[in-house]
Structure 1
Amino acid sequence: MTDKNVEPDGGLSTKEQEVVDKIEEEGVDFLRLQFTDILGTVKNVSVPARQAEKAFTEGIYFDGSSIEGFVRIQESDMRLKPDPDTFAILPWRQKEDSAAARLICDVIDTSTGEPFEGDPRYVLKQALKRAEEMGYTVNAAPEPEFFLFEEDEDGRATTKTNDAGGYFDLAPKDLAQDVRRDIIYGLESMGFEVEASHHEVAQGQHEINFTYDDALSTADNVGTFRTVVRAIAAQHDLHATFMPKPIARINGSGMHTHMSLFDEDGNVFHDDDGQFNLSETARSFIAGILEHAPAITAVTNPTVNSYKRLVPGYEAPVYVAWSDRNRSALIRKPAARVPAASRVEARFPDPSCNPYLAFAALINAGLDGIEQGLDCDDPIRENIYDFDEAKREEYGITTLPSNLGEAIDALEEDEVVLDALGEHIAEKFIEAKTHEFSEYIVEVSQWELDQYLETF
């Protein structure tokens, strides 16, 4: 198998040589070779920068048996293959005479020399390959929300917010403007094009939006975004968390995900003559996501805590429906100023998800809708939160799983989403999440103690 990033004589490709030159120009002394495990946690192997050429031509080996869901001990050798397009200087590690940088890597199975099927980045690449075979490229733009909390005297996270701000508030209520500013500077130094930032609805909650990109670059960017936000918040003695619902009875954090498909003629989701300027292809894509939504939820909302956010009354969607304007629906068609901006917005994912797996699940479900020629029901333009059960039944509106256990059950029954994950990751993901839910249901919470200990 020929490595497209390496010249036939075993030397460096043009892009790889540019990275090696940049490392020398910027005084980079260490490289972090990053990848993610199945749960979406960013891992890295740090090597001296002088190993850059070797990393590109030979790869860097590591023990995969210690990584969640990767391989057994007897088949543990893995190889990291850096993607030169992902090179970036780490803004919080720059000094006058040195710097650190990162490269996002693909994981190679050393026994075969092929991409490792348990690598989440490979899973997304397979979904994009399917789209390409259908004549499409996929663009995506997420909106990851996060909370900023104060730290205690030992440097551990609390749930005490450092402001009393609300949606789009300014100082003095929003005390985190300087933190967001520094985060934006850090992101921009790593190649992000930030569109906007603002205080979100809940106290201590924030959102920073970056521009549309191809789905693989966007998934890479989500992992980078979470890392940058945490690192720069820590410089301000704050803890940043992407936990979906860290505080009860206030809004949780979502990761609304915008998607569109393009072919050689442009945005295939746009149709001047379609309802809301949506094409039949877009409607089929929406229908596919709605069809597989319960199973997708296991991937896009993968923690026990995710389902504390997915409840009525806190602006998080729980009803399987779509709309052009109604934020109570699972899928929304946002307004678009130009045809190229036509897109659909999945409002149910949250920022605790593995972005590679989440995008793969959403894309495969949408493509399945196109292949089957599905059409979605009429959009719901009323506030579904105001519907009683009878009216929801009348409209044929179902609900998402109410907990992680139900979502895993739905995933196990959905061949389309299982195929999106691949056999290896599907098995390991279900095993890990089944264990997580089993651990959760045997725990006794403080709420139960407060409610029952002195009553019974």
Structure 2
Amino acid sequence: MPDQPQNAADVRALVDEHDIRFLRLWFTDILGQLKSFSINAAELDDAFENGMGFDGSSITGFNAIEESDMVAVPDPRTFAVLPWRPTDQGVARIFCDIHTPERTPYEGDPRQVLRRALDRAEQMGFDTFNVGPELEYFLFKDNKSTEVLDEGGYFDLTTLDAGSDVRRETVLALEQLGIHVEYSHHEVGPSQHEVDMRYGPALKMADDCMTYRITVKEIAMKYGWHATFMPKPLFGENGSGMHTHQSLFKDGSNAFYDPDDQYFLSDAGKAFIAGQLKHAREISAIFAQWVNSYKRLVPGYEAPVYVAWSRRNRSALVRVPLYRPGHEQSTRMELRCPDPACNPYLTFAVLLQAGLEGIEKGYELPEPMEKNLYHLAPDDRKRLGIEQLPETLGEAIEITAESELVLRTLGEHMFNRFVEIKRQEWDDYRVQVTPWELDRYLPVL
């Protein structure tokens, strides 16, 4: 895509230029599932002037049926032509903000939750919250099994990487959608892949994460394969993470950088990291929101579970990449625990709010832990004051349910609905009788 449109007139010009016949209006539900409905290009003016009404009662986390009228208001800066649709009488997408019929922002809209967090950062003097998420995924032969396409490992190529052509096509499609790709490669697990988008402002990156996920799935489907962002689809193999690089900017400069600090971190940078460490357990249900997420967050598979930070040590929850002279603007933190099946709007919002809480309240950053935390005995971790992430969704959601920070971030309506939905998911899971239990207990009990 060329320069992104800035207003409705720009979008109309692009619609004419690209012979666009249909526009898909995109938004997400509370869990980050992409929702869409299509309008004729002739309805575009009305969509920009008045929004497009729809029934929100069937959208997970939205209002009940008695107050279900919603309005989708297109954001012109998110217009893009879908490269996997026909070029004649083509199809474009545009993200929407969700409003009430009174044209006020809807409190249950995940995009609005992130906007509120960004407003707080701005009020505290920060211009930009940059995010660089690294989403991993698996390619399987179909959506009914976990039959892998290769036995490749990290950075493997040619015969060990059956997905190199589909990755190439995915990168080209993402670039057509206005998403800058920095890296793409085979990941550690068999048939596991990663395509890294260049960092950007948080709201755009959340939109880009949603675009990335559907693009990966659409291109895989062209090859007859199934792409999944399920955090832990294969027993005994690494799961899929979404390592999330973060930085704050103030007056165009990186607010995390301090040339006189031993770690080259400013007081704001240290407090921001301390905020995410302090609140990690209570926001875990947001960045790891599924029962399956906690099958990934176990020691031994590169997924961090211990609440500590480091510069080199990838077993810690937070890594601060080593400073390189001349690259002051790239000073950042990397949170390694989120997974790619999260709702990126809510995840970026709680991460930002936790970091800002640290800055506002002056949290102290503990010393870095450069030891391999997986090799420490439980007593040693306890002595060092190193906490562990929740071990199950059930544990995580009960900690979240007590969190004043998450309540403020999500707002009362979304907070209550999220806790309710996740408690139900955990209840549905814990009453199941699994094949593991039958194999283990039926013959002997």
Matched with 2:43 is 51
Please give the alpha-carbon distance, in whole angstroms, between the structure 2 residues aligned to 1:408 and 1:390: 26
Please give the alpha-carbon distance, in whole angstroms, between the structure 1 residues aligned to 2:99 and 2:439: 51
Matched with 1:226 is 213
Please give the alpha-carbon distance, in whole angstroms, between the structure 2 residues aligned to 1:389 and 1:15: 56
List per-residue Cα deviations over 1:363-393 (Å, max 9, x = no partner): 0000000001011110001110110112111
1:128 partnered with 2:118:
yes
Matched with 1:84 is 76
1:309 partnered with 2:301:
no
State the shift of 1:98 in Å: 2.2
Please give the alpha-carbon distance, in whole angstroms, between the structure 2 residues aligned to 1:214 and 1:287: 22
Please give the alpha-carbon distance, in whole angstroms, between the structure 1 residues aligned to 2:391 and 2:262: 32
Which among 91, 104, 107 is matched to residue 117 of structure 1?
107
Contact (CA 8 Å) 2:6, 2:77: kept in 1 or not? no
Contact (CA 8 Å) 1:32, 1:45: kept in 2 or not? yes
Q: Helix, strand or coil: the match of 2:227? A: strand
Please give the alpha-carbon distance, in whole angstroms, between the structure 1 residues aligned to 2:129 and 2:86: 34
Please give the alpha-carbon distance, in whole angstroms, between the structure 1 residues aligned to 2:312 and 2:375: 16
Q: Helix, strand or coil: the match of 1:139? A: strand
TM-score, normalized by length of structure 2?
Answer: 0.97
Equivalent position amino acid for 2:425 in 1: E
Following TM superposition, where does structure 1 have runs of at least 4 consecutive aligned residues deviating by more than 3 angstroms?
none
1:359 partnered with 2:351:
no
Q: Helix, strand or coil: the match of 1:106? A: strand
Matched with 2:309 is 322
Please give the alpha-carbon distance, in whole angstroms, between the structure 1 residues aligned to 2:144 and 2:344: 24
Matched with 1:3 is none
1:346 partnered with 2:335:
yes
Please give the alpha-carbon distance, in whole angstroms, between the structure 1 residues aligned to 2:242 and 2:95: 22
Matched with 2:30 is 38
State the shift of 1:334 in Å: 1.3
1:193 partnered with 2:180:
yes
Please give the alpha-carbon distance, in whole angstroms, between the structure 2 residues aligned to 1:234 and 1:276: 45
Q: Helix, strand or coil: the match of 1:114? A: coil
Taking a change above 3 Å as real, the CA distance of residues 442 and 14 of structure 1, as seen in their structure-2 partners, is: closer
Contact (CA 8 Å) 1:87, 1:103: kept in 2 or not? yes
Matched with 1:453 is 442
Contact (CA 8 Å) 2:264, 2:323: kept in 1 or not? no
Equivalent position amino acid for 1:253 in 2: S
1:69 partnered with 2:61:
yes
State the shift of 1:335 in Å: 2.7
Matched with 1:9 is none
Matched with 1:101 is 92
Which among 143, 163, 169 is matched to residue 134 of structure 2?
143
Equivalent position amino acid for 2:331 in 1: S
Contact (CA 8 Å) 2:98, 2:109: kept in 1 or not? yes
List per-residue Cα deviations over 1:111-156 (Å, max 9, x = no partner): x3200000000000000000000011211010010000002xxxx4
List per-residue Cα deviations over 1:46-66 (Å, max 9, x = no partner): 111111111111111000111
Matched with 2:147 is 160
Matched with 2:170 is 183
1:423 partnered with 2:412:
yes
Please give the alpha-carbon distance, in whole angstroms, between the structure 2 residues aligned to 1:174 and 1:394: 44
Please give the alpha-carbon distance, in whole angstroms, between the structure 2 residues aligned to 1:265 and 1:356: 24
Q: Helix, strand or coil: the match of 2:146? A: strand
Matched with 1:369 is 358
State the shift of 1:336 in Å: 4.2
State the shift of 1:265 in Å: 5.0
Please give the alpha-carbon distance, in whole angstroms, between the structure 2 residues aligned to 1:209 and 1:330: 20
Question: Which is worse superposed, 328-337 or 235-244?
Answer: 328-337
Q: Helix, strand or coil: the match of 1:260? A: strand
Which among 233, 239, 242 is matched to residue 229 of structure 2?
242
Give the paired residue count.
438
Please give the alpha-carbon distance, in whole angstroms, between the structure 1 residues aligned to 2:242 and 2:84: 25
Contact (CA 8 Å) 2:6, 2:76: kept in 1 or not? no
Equivalent position amino acid for 1:246 in 2: P
List per-residue Cα deviations over 1:343-370 (Å, max 9, x = no partner): 0011000011000000111100000000
State the shift of 1:394 in Å: 2.0
Q: Helix, strand or coil: the match of 1:164? A: coil
State the shift of 1:280 in Å: 1.2
Which among 18, 23, 39 is matched to residue 26 of structure 1?
18
- Structure 1 residue ranges without an equivalent (≥5): 1-12
Contact (CA 8 Å) 1:408, 1:434: kept in 2 or not? yes
State the shift of 1:275 in Å: 2.4
Equivalent position amino acid for 2:120 in 1: R
Contact (CA 8 Å) 2:187, 2:193: kept in 1 or not? yes
Taking a change above 3 Å as real, the CA distance of residues 53 and 336 of structure 1, as seen in their structure-2 partners, is: farther
Please give the alpha-carbon distance, in whole angstroms, between the structure 2 residues aligned to 1:248 and 1:14: 46
Please give the alpha-carbon distance, in whole angstroms, between the structure 2 residues aligned to 1:147 and 1:434: 28
Contact (CA 8 Å) 1:292, 1:417: kept in 2 or not? no
Please give the alpha-carbon distance, in whole angstroms, between the structure 2 residues aligned to 1:421 and 1:294: 16
Equivalent position amino acid for 1:419 in 2: R
State the shift of 1:409 in Å: 1.1
Please give the alpha-carbon distance, in whole angstroms, between the structure 1 residues aligned to 2:377 and 2:6: 61
Equivalent position amino acid for 2:122 in 1: E
Aligned positions of 1:286-301 closer than 5 A: 286-301=273-288
List per-residue Cα deviations over 1:158-197 (Å, max 9, x = no partner): 2011111100001110110000000001000000110000
